[in-house]
Amino acid sequence: MMRDIVVIGGGASGLAASISAKKKGKDVLLIEREDTLGGILNQCIHNGFGLEVFKEEYTGPEYAHKFVEEFMDLKIDYLINTTVIKLDKNNDDFIITLSSKELGIKNITARSVIISSGCYERTRGQISMPGDRPNGVITAGSAQRYLNINGYMVGKKVFILGSGDIGLIMARRMYLEGAEVLGVAEIMPYSNGLNRNIVQCLNDFDIPLYLSHTVTNVEADEFKKLKAITIQQVDERFNPIPNTEKHFEVDTLLLSIGLIPDITLLDDLYVEVDPKTKSAKINQAYETSVKGLFICGNSLQVHDLVDNVSKESTRAGISASDYLDGLVKDRKKIAIKPGKNVLYVAPQYLDFGWEDKDLLITFRSSKKIEKAIVKVYQGEALVYQKRRAFIVPAEMETLSFAYQELNQDQDLMIEIEEV
């Protein structure tokens, strides 16, 4: 049987995308590899979710539950405990290879696919952290899962590398569970987490934050268990500065050093990838360079707030539905490029064939800027600008403007100007 839309991944993103596509009357199948829907939200037992979508504050599981309820009410088809092991395209149709205990290995076909497979945590291997490789160095999200889902503590004396939000949340969580949290080191001169998390998770518990510091040595004991770490201040080029070493005896080093979109499923499809987002390039409809293949949520770009994941994925679900309804025309497209002080932008293309879609550009700055003007140029022409009092890389920025009158031959460039 040919499905209208297959959604891969049943976390915040996949739930929202399925719901919006189903509401448009499409036949949707969602595939989730875990035994429950809701994804990483299930292990995020802290609050702070939902302020934008529901105007109320929820915990992660509560936020997920709101969406799961709606998903169930709409009677959307789904499979759990099922892994997609291959995604391929045959003319206009997608072939999705599933693997599970119940189904074995099975191919299904769909006219459109939405990737909402989330992200994975950067590991110590990817940053080539020097020293021993003992047990006790663990990504913050894995430790969070062990703590909040399985009910076990990974250590009692903890240091955290990286000030990403999961690291900050885990600093507080482990502290409240009785662990000694000795500090957080961040290689950048500014925090990578939301300001509210710095205040509520570190400052409120007197946990020191060492900016422009990184871990420069990891020591194991005779059994290859973590015994101690050394942190060191770094210069502008991130090289350790001699004689700034600080030594901490710890049994756990949590890593919160970045999240990377999980797009390994796209490997067989020759999707155009943006090295900056480490995900597929998209147009304003969240469509990748492969027609009918959409991507959203943290598998597209790593978000700060789940509310934005839900909103983005809702739009992606509607786009997939519009695609099936034949609302897309074959027109020109232009690139949207990151310029001065801009780390990345998504979408990377503006496709005039999707002219009914609003253009919502998300981007991050490459540094902290007070009093900024965000400008969009087409060649020499300034087509849009807005003032921002304060821009930091840790917080995703958005802008939106009407583009239907733009010249269809010249690329757009986004810049952040310091006033």
Partner 1 sequence: MYDYIVIGAGVIGSCIARELSRYQLKVLVLEKENDVANVQSLANSAIVHSGHNPEPGSLKAKLSVWGNKLYEDMEKELDIPLIRTGAFVVAHNEDEEEQLIELAKTAKINQVPEFSILNYNEAVLIEPNLSKTITKVLSLPTTKVTYPWEVAFAAMENAIKNGVEFKKNALVTAISKENKKFQVTVNNKKIYETLNIINAAGVASDDIASLIENNVKFKIKGRKGEYFVLDKRVKGFVNHVLYPLPTELGKGVLITPQVHGEILLGPNSLEVEDKYHPTTSYDGLAYVKEHASMLAENIPFNQIIRSFAGIRSTSDYDDFYIKESLEYTNLYHLGGIDSPGLTACFAIAKYLVNDVMNVDQKYNINPNFDPYRKKRKLFHRLSNEEKLALISEEPLYGNIICKCEKITEKEILDAMHGPLGSNTIKGIKKRTRAGAGLCQGGYCEEKIMKMIAKEFNLSPLEVAYDKEETKLFVSETKVKL
Residues that bind partner 1 (CB under 8 A): 33, 81, 83, 85, 99-105, 120-121, 123-126, 128-135, 139, 141-142, 145-156, 177-178, 216-218, 220, 223-225, 240, 251, 264, 267, 275
Rounded to a whole number of angstroms, the minimum distance from the CB of residue 257 to partner 1 is 12
Residue whose CB is less far from partner 1, 127 or 392: 127
CA distance 182 to 170: 12
Rounded to a whole number of angstroms, the minimum distance from the CB of residue 155 to partner 1 is 6
CA angle 77, 18, 41 (to 5 degrees): 100
Rounded to a whole number of angstroms, the minimum distance from the CB of residue 16 to partner 1 is 22
Residue whose CB is less far from partner 1, 135 or 407: 135
Residue whose CB is less far from partner 1, 227 or 333: 227
Rounded to a whole number of angstroms, the minimum distance from the CB of residue 288 to partner 1 is 18
Rounded to a whole number of angstroms, the minimum distance from the CB of residue 219 to partner 1 is 8
Rounded to a whole number of angstroms, the minimum distance from the CB of residue 61 to partner 1 is 10
CA distance 312 to 306: 10
Rounded to a whole number of angstroms, the minimum distance from the CB of residue 134 to partner 1 is 8
Rounded to a whole number of angstroms, the minimum distance from the CB of residue 131 to partner 1 is 5
Residue whose CB is less far from partner 1, 84 or 374: 84
Distance of CA 195 to the CA centre of its chain: 18
CA distance 307 to 54: 9
- Specify the 3-state DSSP secondary structure of 405: coil
CA distance 307 to 302: 12
CA distance 274 to 311: 22
Residue whose CB is less far from partner 1, 135 or 398: 135
Residue whose CB is less far from partner 1, 264 or 398: 264
Write the DSSP symbol of residue 225: B
Residue whose CB is less far from partner 1, 124 or 303: 124
Find out whether 275 and 180 touch, Cβ atoms under 8 Å: no
**Cis-peptide, bond into residue 347, ω within 30° of zero:** yes
Q: Rounded to the nearest 10 degrees, what angle do helices 12-23 and 306-324 cross at? A: 40
Residue whose CB is less far from partner 1, 44 or 147: 147
User: Quick one: three-class SS letters along 5-49?
Assistant: EEEECCCHHHHHHHHHHHHCCCCEEEECCCCCCCHHHHHCCCEEE
CA distance 78 to 48: 28
Find out whether 190 and 283 touch, Cβ atoms under 8 Å: no
